[in-house]
Amino acid sequence: MPGNRWNRPPFDLDRPEPGLFAIRMVRRGPEVAAKIAETAGMLRAWINGEMQHAHDLPADAHWTDQFLAHDPVSRVWINGRLIDQAEYDFLLQTAQWAARNPICGHPLARPDQPIRLDTMPPLF
């Protein structure tokens, strides 16, 4: 199957599937680790290592119902870039390090803020 710019084969918006993804929480923000997993018959989303609590919908619910319910599974499924386990682990570990060391100014210390190069400290 040919891929596209999101590094994933053509997919059906109506049927989210479990997987590992990279998403941006805001426009021009850093990419963070995200995953969709099925637990107890429900699709759930984890963004940056934290399970997102929204309306739990059955795994076979139509995507418009999920979108209207502001379901994070839809956000990850529609906006996510498919990644492998190694990249997922790297993004997650880097975000955890940045959260423990906010003085470094790493963009992942505040993934909910856009990256602004004019406000970042110089590299050297």
Q: How many CA atoms lie within 13 A of 16 on its CB side?
A: 34
Reported as a pLDDT band with limits 50, 70 and 90, residue 85 is: very high
**pLDDT value for 68:** 47
Give the mean model confidence (pLDDT) for residues 22-41.
Answer: 89
Query: What does the CA dihedral 92, 22, 46, 29 come to, rounded to 10 degrees?
Result: 80
Mean pLDDT of the chain: 78
pLDDT score at 83: 93
